[in-house]
Amino acid sequence: MVNQRLKNSILTGALLGVFCIIGVGYRQGYSGNGVYLFAMWYNRIIMGMMIGLAGNWLKDRFVIRGLILGTLVTTAFFLSTGFKDVYGFLAGIAYGVIIDFIATKYS
């Protein structure tokens, strides 16, 4: 059963993924980077899913939970870039906190 927290976190991850596409596309160009841009967006969806499934882990400490899960998920993508997209990595950590805040507040 999909609960409200999971829905909110996946939708927030998808929206923040669009901002990632805009940022990465601006820095690296849109042409020829379609798969990379999709992978960045998909990474944010996975991040939202992980945060949504975390539920009440660490109780109401959404900042710590968001930092930990955001870092874990975005590190996987960062490794695949050969440590080249530092801005995307840092944005992923911040987006983890944002996703968890939205999921916690509106669930």
Q: Average pLDDT for residues 93-107, to the nearest whole number?
A: 94
Sequence spans of domains, the chain: 4-105
Per-residue pLDDT tens digits for 15-59: 999 999 999 999 999 999 999 999 999 999 999 999 999 988 887
Average pLDDT, the chain: 93
pTM, two decimals, is 0.93
Which pLDDT does position 55 carry in this prediction?
Answer: 85
- Look at the block and give the residue holding tokens 């539920």: 55
Report how far Cα 64 is from the mean position of its chain's Cα atoms.
15
The answer to whether residues 48 and 9 touch, using CB atoms and an 8 Å cutoff, is yes
